[in-house]
A and B are shown apart, each in its own frame.
Chain A
Amino acid sequence: MRRYNEQIQVDARRVSMPSTAVAAGVPTAVLTGPPVRFRWRGHLWRVDEIHEHWVSTAEWWDSPAARALRGEETADDRNAPDPDLHDSRETWRVSAVGEETRRGLSCDLVHVGGRWFLDTLVD
Chain B
Amino acid sequence: MATDPFVHLRVASGYSMMYGANQPDELVAAAAGYGMDALALTDRDGLSGAVRFVQACTTAGIHPIVGVDLAVLPLDGLPTAGRGRRTPARGGTERDPRLPRLTVLARPDGGWAALCRLISAVHAAGERATPIATTDLICDHAAGGDLVVLAGADAEIGRAIARKDRSAAVRWLTEWRRRLPPGGFVIGVEHHLRAGHGPGSGSFAARLQSLAEAEGVPSVLSNAVRMTTPDRAPVLDILDASRRLVPLAGHNVDRSTAECWLKPGVAMHLVADDLARRGGGDAGALLARTRALAETCRLDAAADLGIGIVHLPELGAGRAGDNGTLPGTATGTAAAADAAATLLHRCRAGIPRRWANPPAEVADRLAEELAVVARHGFETYFLTVADIVDSIRARGVRCAARGSGAGSLINYLLGISGVDPIEHDLVFERFLSPLRHELPDIDLDVESARRPEIYDMIIDDYGTDRVACVAMVETYRVRHAVRDVGAALSLPPAEVDAIAKAFPHLRASRARSALAELPELRAAGLADSRLELFFRLVEGLDGLPRHLALHPCGIVLSDRTLLDRTPVQNSHQNYPLSQFDKDDVEAMGLLKLDVLGIRMQSAMAHAVAEIDRTCDERIDLDALPHDDEATFELVRSTETLGCFQIESPGQRELIGKFAPETFADLIIDISLFRPGPVKSDMVRPFLEARQGWAEAHYLHPDLREVLAETFGVVVFHEQVMRIIATVAGCSVAVGDAARRKLGTPEGQEEVRTWFVDRARQRDYPEEVITRVWQVLAAFGSFGFCKAHAAAFALPTYQSAWLKAHYPAHFLAGVLTHDPGMYPKRLLLEEARRRGVRVLGPDVNASDDRYRAEALPDGGWGLRVGLADLLGIDSEELARIVAGQPFDSLTDFWRRARPDQPTAERLVVAGAFDELYGINIARVPGRRNRRDLMLAVADLHRADRAHRKAGHGPGQPSLELAGAAVTDPMGFPTDVPLSGLPEMSDTDRVRAELDVLGLDISRHVVDFHRPMLDAIGVTRAADLLRQRNQSEVLVAGVKVATQTPPVRSGQRVVFLTLDDASGPADAAFFANAADWVGTVFAGWLLLVRGVVRRSGPRGISLRATGCWDLPALDAIWRETLRTGTRADAAAAVRAVLEGPAPGAGEGDGGPGVNRVLVHASGFTQSAYADVRTAGSVEPRRNLWHASPGSSGPTAGGGSGMRTTGRGW
**A residues within 8 Å of B by Cβ?**
15-21, 23-29, 31, 33-34, 50, 52-57, 59-61, 65-66, 68-70, 82, 84-86, 88, 90-91
The answer to whether B33 touches A20 (Cβ under 8 A) is yes
Q: How far, in whole Å, are A70 and B261 apart by their CA atoms in the complex?
A: 30
The answer to whether B237 touches A61 (Cβ under 8 A) is yes
The answer to whether B30 touches A26 (Cβ under 8 A) is yes
- Measured between C-beta atoms, what is the minimum distance from B396 to chain A in Å? 58
In the complex, whether B578 has a CB less than 8 A from a CB of chain A is no
List 16 interface pairs A-B (beta carbons < 8 Å), by A numbering. A15-B270, A17-B266, A18-B2, A29-B261, A34-B270, A55-B192, A55-B195, A56-B256, A57-B255, A61-B237, A65-B530, A69-B534, A85-B533, A86-B232, A86-B233, A86-B258
B2, B195, B258, B489 — most chain A CB neighbours (10 Å): B258
Q: How far, in whole Å, are A23 and B1128 apart by their CA atoms in the complex?
A: 73
Per-residue contact bits, chain B 725-744, to A (CB 8 Å; 1 contact, 0 not): 00000000000000000000
The answer to whether A88 touches B489 (Cβ under 8 A) is no
The answer to whether B34 touches A20 (Cβ under 8 A) is yes
Residues of B within 8 A of A20 (CB): 1-2, 33-35
The answer to whether A70 touches B489 (Cβ under 8 A) is yes
Residues of A within 8 A of B277 (CB): 50
The answer to whether B230 touches A88 (Cβ under 8 A) is yes
The answer to whether A27 touches B30 (Cβ under 8 A) is yes
Q: How far, in whole Å, are A55 and B230 apart by their CA atoms in the complex?
A: 12
Residues of B within 8 A of A88 (CB): 230, 257-259
- Measured between C-beta atoms, what is the minimum distance from B255 to chain A in Å? 8
Residue on B with the closest CB to A13?
Answer: B270
Partner of A26, one of B33, B259, B267, B533: B33
Residue on B with the closest CB to A61?
Answer: B248
The answer to whether B266 touches A29 (Cβ under 8 A) is no
The answer to whether A31 touches B267 (Cβ under 8 A) is yes
The answer to whether A18 touches B270 (Cβ under 8 A) is no
Residues of B within 8 A of A59 (CB): 249-250
In the complex, whether B32 has a CB less than 8 A from a CB of chain A is yes
In the complex, given contacts A16-B266, A57-B255, A86-B232, what are 19 additional A-B residue pairs having Cβ atoms less than 8 angstroms apart?
A: A15-B270, A18-B265, A21-B264, A23-B33, A25-B33, A31-B267, A34-B270, A50-B277, A54-B195, A54-B201, A54-B257, A56-B257, A60-B234, A65-B533, A66-B489, A69-B530, A69-B533, A86-B234, A91-B195
Q: How far, in whole Å, are A68 and B489 apart by their CA atoms in the complex?
A: 11
Residues of A within 8 A of B233 (CB): 57, 85-86
**B residues within 8 Å of A by Cβ?**
1-2, 4, 29-30, 32-35, 192-196, 201-202, 228-234, 237, 248-250, 255-259, 261, 264-267, 270, 274, 277, 488-491, 530-534
Residues of A within 8 A of B194 (CB): 54-55
Q: How far, in whole Å, are A84 and B258 apart by their CA atoms in the complex?
A: 12
In the complex with contacts A27-B229, A69-B533, A53-B274 CB distance below 8 A: yes
Residues of B within 8 A of A16 (CB): 266
Residues of A within 8 A of B202 (CB): 52-54
Residues of A within 8 A of B256 (CB): 56-57
A50, A84, A85, A88 — most chain B CB neighbours (10 Å): A85
The answer to whether B193 touches A18 (Cβ under 8 A) is no
- Measured between C-beta atoms, what is the minimum distance from B1002 to chain A in Å? 50
Residues of A within 8 A of B274 (CB): 53
Partner of A21, one of B30, B201, B258, B531: B30
Residues of B within 8 A of A91 (CB): 195
Q: How far, in whole Å, are A54 and B204 apart by their CA atoms in the complex?
A: 13
Q: How far, in whole Å, are A82 and B195 apart by their CA atoms in the complex?
A: 25
The answer to whether A31 touches B266 (Cβ under 8 A) is yes
B33, B258, B490 — most chain A CB neighbours (10 Å): B33
Residues of B within 8 A of A33 (CB): 270
The answer to whether B533 touches A66 (Cβ under 8 A) is yes
Q: How far, in whole Å, are A68 and B906 apart by their CA atoms in the complex?
A: 52
The answer to whether A55 touches B259 (Cβ under 8 A) is yes
- Measured between C-beta atoms, what is the minimum distance from B264 to chain A in Å? 5
Residues of B within 8 A of A34 (CB): 270
Residue on B with the closest CB to A89?
Answer: B257
Residue on B with the closest CB to A27?
Answer: B229
Q: How far, in whole Å, are A23 and B2 apart by their CA atoms in the complex?
A: 12
Residues of B within 8 A of A23 (CB): 33
B234, B265, B532 — most chain A CB neighbours (10 Å): B234
Q: Which 3 interchain pairs have the tightest Cβ spacing? A: A26-B33, A21-B33, A24-B33
Residues of A within 8 A of B30 (CB): 21, 26-27
Residues of B within 8 A of A56 (CB): 195, 256-257
In the complex with contacts A21-B33, A53-B274, A86-B2 CB distance below 8 A: no
In the complex with contacts A19-B2, A68-B530, A69-B531, A57-B34 CB distance below 8 A: no
In the complex with contacts A20-B1, A70-B489, A57-B33 CB distance below 8 A: no
- Measured between C-beta atoms, what is the minimum distance from B125 to chain A in Å? 37
Q: How far, in whole Å, are A31 and B264 apart by their CA atoms in the complex?
A: 10
Residues of B within 8 A of A15 (CB): 266-267, 270
- Measured between C-beta atoms, what is the minimum distance from A108 to chain B in Å? 11
Residues of B within 8 A of A60 (CB): 234, 237
Residues of A within 8 A of B237 (CB): 60-61
Q: How far, in whole Å, are A55 and B249 apart by their CA atoms in the complex?
A: 18
Q: How far, in whole Å, are A91 and B734 apart by their CA atoms in the complex?
A: 64
Residues of A within 8 A of B532 (CB): 65
Q: How far, in whole Å, are A29 and B33 apart by their CA atoms in the complex?
A: 13
Residues of A within 8 A of B232 (CB): 86
Residue on A with the closest CB to B2?
Answer: A20
Residues of B within 8 A of A52 (CB): 202
Residue on A with the closest CB to B248?
Answer: A61
